A and B are shown apart, each in its own frame.
Chain A
Amino acid sequence: MAFLEIQNLVKHFGSTHVLEDISFTLEKGQVLAIIGSSGSGKTTLLRCINFLETPNYGKMRLNGETLFDAEDQATLKEDEIRKKRLHFGLVFQSFNLFPQYTALKNVMLAKELLAKERPDYKANKKAIHQEIEEQAKGLLVRMGLEDRMMNYPQQLSGGQQQRVSIARALAMEPDILCFDEPTSALDPELTGEVLKVIRGLKNSDSTMIVVTHEMEFAKHVADKVIFMADGVIEEWGTPEEVFEHPQSPKTQAFLNKENF
């Protein structure tokens, strides 16, 4: 049984069919790259996985547990969805950092709020906060931001902001970390620092789903590649299979256009 199983996912917005029967699996520690032209449904797929959209049909299982089943009302309860979201992290294209908090506080905030639900919170308040702060600082150091912790988002470059947002997602220790075109909003000279950080995460065995336009990155970092077109998975395989021997004409056309 695979770590993550997506089965027959369908998403419509009114009469717009955005996702049609999406199924794939992902093993623990693997990196999945999703490529495809704009409008093919990549963002919507990540949003479904992170419970920001409710699919019209389909199932989602993680580690054997059914997280979502469109036909089982019990999996759709709001307060349980909040807990289930914690299995996943999402790094947005436009960072979405909280502007009123420092980089460090951005990374700590959600964890601090979650800690309040711990039964031992009152007794160990100080120690818990200390621990959360240490963890957040450690993550920011890992992102190469040791001298930027006390800066507000507007004082940081796009690349630095995106690295803070990666640290913020990692702080919740998600089972699977998702990236939605993490470098698309960045100037070309800043994409390298973010891709390097993501590559570093692969080496530490994180399971990741990365929607990206960086074909070189997909080819060299991903274990599996999905090519999406018009809401369906047009091609799925190893980077070698998808990039060197694409079967579908649509994939071939896309890769040609991307000069690949």
Chain B
Amino acid sequence: MQQFLEQLPIVVDALNDGFLQTLKLFAVTLMGALPLGLLISFCSMSKFLPLKYLTKTVIWIVRGSPLMLQLMIIFYGPGLLFDFNPWGGGENGRFIASAVAFILNYACYFSEIYRSGIEGVPKGQQEAGQVLGMTKSQIFFKVTLLQMVKRIVPPMSNEIITLVKDTSLARIISLQEVIWAGEAFMKGSRGLSGLVWPLFFTAIYYLLFNGVLTILLGKLEKKLSYFQA
């Protein structure tokens, strides 16, 4: 017990550093994938058929293969294929490669959520706006947008919770996120070695963070529950 209490602050300190990297990857992925996903969803609904089918193929590949594999291909692929490393070295390079892989992967998932949200708003809503003389952009911003948001919040919440856990996959290219930081205490880290519990202890970080997210997203959902769409 005495020993555990001595180790705890050292471990927590290391895990905090790791979790900061986890949070960074989470935030950067959201900031990139939320807008990129919308763009991809417009492409997948395009009336220009080559663009539509190209986009649908990319979505199929990205959603149909493991993110872990995509991470490795993006990180190692350019070096192996072209003898060229676009990511730069060190932790920073690993972070950029991880962010690119996560943004691409999640943008494809988000795009399908956006698409179902956009297509889910009944055609009659747009037509009601049209016969009242509204412009296309007025109809989008004043009529359909909020109904779309209401439709996508629940599935989006699920994806966001999954993203928090998925960030741990970046461990495969040695990104120093919280799992990596916990695992390091087995081999040796910050003067401690042979410890297994720090790895399990990382679960608390995920649980706490997802708890907070669940509450926030639930509040948003509740806020939009005043109307039915």
Contact = CB atoms under 8 A, between A and B. Distances in A.
A122 interface: no
Contact of B131 (A85, A98, A153): A85
Contacts of B147: 99-100
A90 B128 CA distance: 8
Interface string B139-172: 0001100110010000000000000000000000
Interface residues on B, range: 20 to 34
Contacts of B228: 99, 152-154
B146 to A, nearest CB: 5
Nearest to A106: B128
B125 A96 contact: yes
Contact of B138 (A113, A152, A169): A113
A83 B133 contact: yes
Nearest to A83: B133
A12 interface: no
A168 B128 CA distance: 10
Interface core residue of A50, A51, A97, A113 (most chain B CB under 10 Å): A113
A157 to B, nearest CB: 14
Interface string A85-97: 1101110101011
B132 A168 contact: yes
A98 B142 CA distance: 9
B131 A113 contact: no
A88 B133 CA distance: 10
State which size class the interface on A falls in. Answer: 20 to 34
A106 B228 CA distance: 15
Given A152-B226, A154-B228, A96 B127 contact: yes
Given A52-B127, A96-B124, A98-B125, A109 B142 contact: yes
Contact of A152 (B134, B143, B227): B227
Interface string A152-164: 1110000000000
Given A152-B227, A154-B227, A172 B132 contact: yes
Given A99-B147, A152-B226, A110 B124 contact: no
A89 B131 contact: yes
Interface in A166-208: 168-169, 172
Contact of A100 (B127, B131, B135, B146): B146
B229 interface: yes
21 contacts: A50-B131, A52-B131, A82-B134, A82-B135, A86-B133, A89-B131, A94-B124, A98-B128, A100-B146, A100-B147, A110-B132, A113-B142, A114-B133, A152-B226, A152-B227, A152-B228, A154-B227, A154-B228, A168-B132, A169-B132, A172-B132
Given A90-B131, A94-B124, 5 more contacts: A83-B133, A85-B130, A92-B127, A92-B128, A152-B227
Interface of B: 122, 124-125, 127-135, 138, 142-143, 146-147, 150, 226-229
In the complex, the 3 A-B pairs of residues with the closest C-beta atoms, listed nearest first: A110-B132, A96-B128, A96-B124
Interface of A: 50-52, 82-83, 85-86, 88-90, 92, 94, 96-100, 109-110, 113-114, 152-154, 168-169, 172
